[in-house]
């Protein structure tokens, strides 16, 4: 058993950040939406870690919830705070 296969599985590894906020964005449906949201977030939170799960319509950002919500809304999408 070598390390190759275990390394492949580790690509799904998630970084858990204490101040990460998670939003459900129901109208984020394709790669274009993801791009628009990512660039809106990069504009307001330069350098912040952004995690997008397109299949679950979830956006995770290492930043302030109010700023994230404003950025997603300004991009034309509807963020809902995750419990």
Q: Which residues bind Cu ion (CB under 5 A)?
A: 29-30, 32-33
CA distances from residue 8 to 3, 5, 66 in whole angstroms, order as listed: 9, 5, 36
Min dist. Cβ of residue 33 to Cu ion (A): 3
Token pair of 37 as six digits = 């949201």
Which is nearer to Cu ion, 48 or 77 (by Cβ)? Answer: 77
Min dist. Cβ of residue 26 to Cu ion (A): 12
Which is nearer to Cu ion, 34 or 62 (by Cβ)? Answer: 34
Min dist. Cβ of residue 42 to Cu ion (A): 17
Which is nearer to Cu ion, 19 or 76 (by Cβ)? Answer: 76
Residue 55 · residue 82 · CB < 8 Å? no
CA dihedral 30, 36, 42, 47 (to 10 degrees): 20
């Amino acid at each position: 058993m070598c390390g190759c296969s275990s390394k492949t599985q580790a690509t799904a590894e998630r970084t858990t950040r204490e101040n990460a906020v998670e939003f459900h964005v129901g109208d984020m449906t394709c790669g274009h939406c993801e791009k628009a949201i990512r660039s809106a977030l990069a504009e307001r939170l330069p350098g912040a870690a952004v995690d997008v799960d397109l299949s679950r319509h979830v956006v995770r950002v290492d930043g302030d919830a109010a700023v994230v919500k404003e950025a997603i809304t300004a991009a034309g999408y509807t963020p809902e705070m995750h419990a």
